[in-house]
Chain A
Amino acid sequence: MFDLSPAEWTAVALSLRVSIVATLVALPFGIAIGWLLARKDFWGKIVVDGIVYLPLVLPPVVTGYLLLISFGRRGPIGAFFADYLGIVFSFRWTGAALSCGVMGFPLMVRPIRLAIEAIDRRLEDAAATLGAGRFFVFLTITLPLALPGVIAGAVMCFARALGEFGATITFVSNIPGETQTISAAIYTLLQVPDGEVQAGRLVVVAIVLALAALIASEWFARRAGMRFQGE
C-alpha cells in the first residue's frame, strides 16, 4: 500500500516543493499586508481588504483563468517576469507555486492581521523610548509578539497550497513531473479504469501531510506562546 511508484513520488515531491515555495514567497507579503490592514487607515483600504480575500470566495477556476491571462507567457505581468527576471510561470511548477500562493494568501493574512491587532502598542512606545527606530521596533517587538499568528498563517497557507486543485490546473494544466501535484494526480488516476487503488495511496499521503502540518502548527504556536508564560 505504501510503496509509492516513482510517478507517485514525483507528484508528492512536487506538491511539497510547490507548497513550501508558495508559503515562503507569500510570507513577507502576508506579513506586510497583515500589518498594513491591522495598523493603517488609508484611502482604498476596503478595496485592498477585498482583493486579498477574493481568492477565498471566487471559484478557483476563475482565479486560475485570471492568473492565466495576467501571468501567462503573453500576459502583461507574465511577459515582464519572463523578459526581465527570467521567471516563466505558464506550464511550469513555478506557476503552480504562484496559484497555490494566491489561493493560500487570504488564509495566511487573516491570523497575522489578528495577531498584530492584538499587540499592546504601548510596548512599541516603550521600545521607542529605549532607542529603537520604527523598523527595529517592528523586528524586535511587533514580529516576535505576532509570531504565533505568523506561524498559524504560514501553516494554513501551506495546507491550502497542498490541497489546491482548481486554480492550478486551470493556470498551468496537469503535466506529470512539472505541474501535476498530488491533487491533480489523484484526479487523473480517478479518470482511468483501475486507478482507484493508486489514487487511494495518494489520498492517504494527502491526509498524512495535512495532519502533520496541523500538528506542527499547533506545536510551534504552543512553543511561541510558552515563551510569554515564563519557565
Chain B
Amino acid sequence: MIVLAVDVEKRLGTFALSARFKATGGVTALFGPSGAGKTILVNMIAGLLAPDRGSIALDDTVLFDDTAGIDVPPHRRHIGYVFQEGRLFPHLSVRQNLDYGRRMSRHPRDAAAFARMTQMLDIGHLLERRPRTLSGGERQRVAIGRALLIRPRLLLLDEPLASLDAARKHEILPYLVRLRDAAHVPMVYVSHTAAELRQIATNVVRLDAGRMVACGGIELLD
C-alpha cells in the first residue's frame, strides 16, 4: 500500500528541486550528499515550505496540490518532525516539551502512552529538567518522543544523528530501530551517511543536486 506520494518542484534562488517518489510503510531513506535538497523536500512534506508545483498525498489525504489549490497548514498535517538540532523549547521543561503536542491538539492526557514513550526512549529521569541541561543524545531522544506523542501519521527525521558524535549515534540508533519494528509509524529518514541508513532503512530514494536519481531497496546505498 502506498503511504506517501510526492511529486513536487521547487525553485529557491538558483537551486531547483524536482522529485517524484512513492513510499510504502517502513522507513524510507532520503539519501544523498549535502545540498541535494533533502531538507527542502521534507520541509515541503511537513508543510513548512510550499512547492511551486506538484502534489503531496498521505494515505488518502491530499496535503498539497497546486492545481486544486490545496495546502494543508503544518499544524493540521499530523506529521511528526524530528529536526537535526532537536529544537526543544528552551523555556519549557522536558515534560512540557513532550506534552506540547497533546496540549495544542487538546487531547485528553494519556498517562499510559506517556509512560510507554518515556520508557522506550529512556528519558523518564529527565522529565523535570530544562533542555539546556541535557546532553545531545538526550535532547534527540526527547525530540523523538515529542514528535511521536502527537501520534503522527508519518514521522520525518532530518539527519537526527548528524549533530552527535559516534558514541551518541550508537546510543540513539537502537531506539529508532525499535521504533520502526514496534510503533508501525511510517518514517522518512534523511541522511547522507549510508552506514547509518543501512541499519534502519527499508527502501531508499536517492537525491543528487535537486534531482531524484534512483528509487528502490537498500542496495541503492552501496
Q: Mark A130-173, 1 if CB is under 8 A from B, else 0.
A: 11110010001100110000000000000000000000000000
Residue tally, chain A, CB below 8 Å to B: 22
Which residues of A from 179 to 231 have beta carbons under 8 Å from B?
Answer: 227-231
Residues A229 and B87 in contact, CB atoms below 8 Å apart = no
Q: Answer whether residue A40 sits at the interface, using C-beta atoms and an 8 A cutoff.
A: no
Chain B residues whose C-beta falls within 8 Å of the C-beta of A132 in the assembled complex? 75, 100, 104
Residues A122 and B83 in contact, CB atoms below 8 Å apart = yes
Q: Mark B108-135, 1 if CB is under 8 A from A, else 0.
A: 0000000000000000000001111100
A230 CA / B132 CA spacing, docked (Å):
6
Q: Answer whether residue A123 sits at the interface, using C-beta atoms and an 8 A cutoff.
A: yes
Residues A126 and B150 in contact, CB atoms below 8 Å apart = no
- Measured CB to CB, the nearest residue on chain B to A136 is B104
Q: Answer whether residue A127 sits at the interface, using C-beta atoms and an 8 A cutoff.
A: yes
- Measured CB to CB, the nearest residue on chain A to B84 is A122
A230 CA / B139 CA spacing, docked (Å):
14
Residues A230 and B150 in contact, CB atoms below 8 Å apart = no
A140 CA / B100 CA spacing, docked (Å):
9
Q: Mark B122-156, 1 if CB is under 8 A from A, else 0.
A: 00000001111100000000000011001000000
Residue in contact with A123 in the complex, picked from B79, B89, B104, CB distance below 8 Å: B89
- The A contact surface, by secondary structure, is helix
A180 CA / B110 CA spacing, docked (Å):
59
A127 CA / B85 CA spacing, docked (Å):
14
Chain A residues whose C-beta falls within 8 Å of the C-beta of B91 in the assembled complex? 144-145, 227-228
- Identify the interface centre among A129, A131, A227: most chain B CB within 10 Å of its CB: A129
- Measured CB to CB, the nearest residue on chain B to A137 is B75
Q: Answer whether residue A128 sits at the interface, using C-beta atoms and an 8 A cutoff.
A: yes
Chain A residues whose C-beta falls within 8 Å of the C-beta of B76 in the assembled complex? 131
User: Knowing A131-B75, A132-B75, A133-B73 touch, does A126 contact B132 (C-beta < 8 A)?
Assistant: no
User: Knowing A123-B89, A131-B105 touch, does A230 contact B75 (C-beta < 8 A)?
Assistant: no
- Measured CB to CB, the nearest residue on chain A to B78 is A131
User: Knowing A144-B91, A231-B130 touch, does A128 contact B74 (C-beta < 8 A)?
Assistant: yes
Which residues of B from 36 to 88 have beta carbons under 8 Å from A?
Answer: 46-48, 73-81, 83, 85, 87
Chain B residues whose C-beta falls within 8 Å of the C-beta of A136 in the assembled complex? 104
A42 CA / B90 CA spacing, docked (Å):
31
Residue in contact with A126 in the complex, picked from B73, B87, B133, CB distance below 8 Å: B87
Chain B residues whose C-beta falls within 8 Å of the C-beta of A228 in the assembled complex? 90-91, 130, 132
Residue in contact with A125 in the complex, picked from B74, B90, B100, B147, CB distance below 8 Å: B74
Q: How far is the CB of A132 from chain B (nearest CB, A)?
A: 4
Residues B79 and A130 in contact, CB atoms below 8 Å apart = no
Chain A residues whose C-beta falls within 8 Å of the C-beta of B100 in the assembled complex? 127, 130, 132, 140
User: Knowing A125-B74, A131-B105 touch, does A230 contact B130 (C-beta < 8 A)?
Assistant: yes
Residues B101 and A130 in contact, CB atoms below 8 Å apart = yes
Chain B residues whose C-beta falls within 8 Å of the C-beta of A128 in the assembled complex? 47-48, 73-75
A229 CA / B130 CA spacing, docked (Å):
7
A136 CA / B87 CA spacing, docked (Å):
17
Q: How far is the CB of B188 from chain A (nearest CB, A)?
A: 13
Residues B73 and A131 in contact, CB atoms below 8 Å apart = no
User: Knowing A228-B132, A230-B129, A231-B130 touch, does A131 contact B48 (C-beta < 8 A)?
Assistant: no
A173 CA / B100 CA spacing, docked (Å):
52
A122 CA / B81 CA spacing, docked (Å):
12
Q: How far is the CB of A136 from chain B (nearest CB, A)?
A: 6
Residues A129 and B74 in contact, CB atoms below 8 Å apart = yes
Residues B104 and A130 in contact, CB atoms below 8 Å apart = yes
Q: How far is the CB of B161 from chain A (nearest CB, A)?
A: 18
Residues A131 and B150 in contact, CB atoms below 8 Å apart = yes
- List 6 interface pairs A-B (beta carbons < 8 Å), by A numbering: A127-B89, A129-B47, A131-B78, A145-B91, A227-B91, A228-B90
Binding site for A on B (CB under 8 A): 46-48, 73-81, 83, 85, 87, 89-91, 100-101, 104-105, 129-133, 146-147, 150
For the A-B complex with A128-B48, A133-B104 known, give 19 more contacts whose Cβ atoms are closer than 8 Å.
A122-B85, A125-B87, A126-B81, A127-B89, A127-B104, A129-B46, A129-B47, A129-B81, A130-B101, A130-B150, A131-B78, A141-B89, A145-B90, A228-B90, A228-B132, A229-B132, A230-B131, A230-B132, A230-B133
